[in-house]
Structure 1
């Protein structure tokens, strides 16, 4: 019964983990996308923390059955809350546009992205116009799985997302999380202290996920991601050294304390650079018509990588002890170098324009910088991309369409590619 229950819980939680970054990416404005999507990481850490806190709390329950039934019962609250929330959250406007539901998509964008000191709603109108024109092209493109690996630019995006997902989990984060009490036991701590240290450890994740989400739109994704992987490698080296030299004897309290501190520092740098930045990166990397599949592959890579490591951990620690850390040290060390060489910066780029960093400029229908509002007529004005003279300005007759001549010109330039 427990295994069957875990199957359904796993389907729901991992599916939710794939859906939420996609959804948040498609709702967030470009300049704040890192923060809003990064809040997924903050709340995932919060969920882990609540589970740890409840595990600690029910440890003191006198009834043995309550010790494990209590936390499982509390876990029922959150899915029920989500079912209620579902009635109030909007659909992704980009998904609606791909399905041809223009009016509904426009209503959501105008409502969510309205700016107080922008009476003409210049930002929301321009953003929606770009979304709409891009969706018209995206509907003509192949959204299948084969395209993700057959088209060179899509293949590069897929490799970047899956590669970083693998490297991020190869820092041993889930090994430390799931085997935390066992690892603290190896450092000489009793059951109560093991649970307390685990609670403290996961609390670090909440704080530093928020730090990462707050920094990402200022300093970018790339620096945080590279820093996160490299810093995890350094903390693992320290941890391996402490365990190798002091765990067996258990007499050097300072050395064992440094081992605990290394775990805490590990989660701090992991949260800032991998947990929160990775979630943002997976969501914004792919074009609209294959974003869900791209995020799905990223999350599946995380799950598969965790599965392999977690199945091997108990046997590995029993047979080679601290040397198991060398696997993660080597992969994360080499991964930091690889990420330095290949990771692009995606900060502040509208997701309709993400194709330009992969050389697919023909896939971009309209650039945000070319869209303005004529404050005399209150109409949108679209310039030919790269035209700084102002001679190529074309007024848009409505919020939703181009003038007939410009529509024909754009159609002519896109028809061969489509």
Structure 2
């Protein structure tokens, strides 16, 4: 890409060009995905995200110059971030209440697994040392596999029944809910009760305003956007990406070469995968809020350890470095990800998907994830300049903000664990927006609580 001069050092514009390859397509990918989710359905958003990601990956793999590479990286980023925004929405709307945290938590598990695979492929293709462009085109080309798989199985994936009900597709919603619960009589009985609640709620939700003005002016809606967007910012203010990027400096100080540095990075990400799975098990047992509080407190502790080690032994790195201190700094990175993955990361996707009502879920989740993307962009873009001018003090940002966030979560966040999506509204003071409580379903449909009457007969049939 002609980023190196004849002297082997980067050209004057190398840093800015590399920064431009960070896949900032989130700024366009997420809003478009949000609109498609609401207008055409959850499956349509999956198709959009996969198609854009596939084109972006193919263009990056085939890039002939930096301009072409940056353009297609934008598309790849748009597809990737749109995929991340649809995953928790789609999963939450298909999952049963008692296992919703486990199912939605798989978003974090597979996100980390994808990062691990990327690291493994980086290590594998690094071994190709003959100067062939396959060393960098290969890993980029592998990206095409996953959106292609999604597109190939899309035909067999069900639409979200809640989206169907919001668009008056009652028969389709009923078939989907019944198929999701299998043929067991007890499961079908629960399916009927769940569908009854969904229909009653959708009838009401379709009458509600979902404009941005209402989202910002109605107190209960505003609180939902506030807590999710701020938590997205707080979760990325723990310094995850920055300390990961700084890891290579620590590894090199310990005497490890480029290949070994990649191996350490693979190990770091693998720890995240393992502990993300643990978080996926715990999220329904411990609850969302408790995991958030445990996560913010523990990752802040390890960030303090990391900052102390870097300040004492790596700022600057001496000719004869204290290898024990730097080894502790490396260990702190691993402990950090071991606590971040099952708590801060897993709980985030689950919580975003639960707190918004049907008519705002796509908009709310997408906005929260967009805030996280923007926080990542800010911190990563500032990292090189910050390290050059204030060094280890940059890490203080990732201690102060999470401490404030810990207090904020403890005071401001309600627990959503185990509630049907239709009943979460009461946690935000909207009891009158809950048309049917699951505990009341067996006593018969309460038609007087339903504000629209077009499908009351169908609701009664489902309940019976």
Q: Same fold (TM over 0.5)?
A: yes
Q: Choose which of 44, 68, 71 in structure 1 pairs with 2:139.
A: 71
CA distance in 2, matches of 1:244, 1:13: 35
Matched, 1:39 2:102: no
Deviations 1:57-113 (A, max 9, x none): 111112331211110111111111111121111110000000000000110111112
Q: Choose which of 243, 262, 276 in structure 1 pairs with 2:346.
A: 276
CA distance in 1, matches of 2:182, 2:440: 20
Partner of 1:381: 444
Matched, 1:98 2:166: yes
Matched, 1:351 2:421: yes
- Structural RMSD (CA): 2.0
Look up the SS of the partner of 2:444 in the other structure.
Answer: strand
8 Å CA contact retained: 2:254, 2:323: no
Matched, 1:329 2:426: no
Deviation at 1:145, TM superposition (A): 1.5
CA distance in 2, matches of 1:276, 1:317: 29
Deviations 1:28-53 (A, max 9, x none): 11100000000011000010000000
Q: What residue ranges of structure 1 are gaps of 5+ in the alignment?
A: 373-379, 386-395, 407-418
What's the TM-score, normalizing by structure 2? 0.80
Look up the SS of the partner of 1:347 in the other structure.
Answer: coil
Partner of 2:438: 368
Deviations 1:158-178 (A, max 9, x none): 000001001000001121334
Q: Choose which of 152, 175, 178 in structure 2 pairs with 1:107.
A: 175
CA distance in 2, matches of 1:213, 1:261: 24
Q: How many residue pairs were aligned?
A: 385
Query: Looking at both structures, which has the greater relative contact order when contacts are Cα pairs under 8 Å and sequence separation is at least 6?
Result: 1
Partner of 2:459: 401
CA distance in 1, matches of 2:254, 2:415: 40
8 Å CA contact retained: 2:436, 2:446: no
CA distance in 1, matches of 2:249, 2:76: 24
8 Å CA contact retained: 2:237, 2:375: yes
Q: What residue ranges of structure 2 are gaps of 5+ in the alignment?
A: 1-67, 449-454
Partner of 1:410: none
8 Å CA contact retained: 1:23, 1:92: yes
User: In the TM superposition, what are the counterparts of 1:46-65 in structure 2 within 5 Å?
Assistant: 46-64=113-131, 65=133
Deviation at 1:148, TM superposition (A): 1.1
CA distance in 2, matches of 1:3, 1:180: 25
Look up the SS of the partner of 1:118 in the other structure.
Answer: helix
Partner of 1:414: none
CA distance in 2, matches of 1:17, 1:179: 25
Deviation at 1:196, TM superposition (A): 0.7
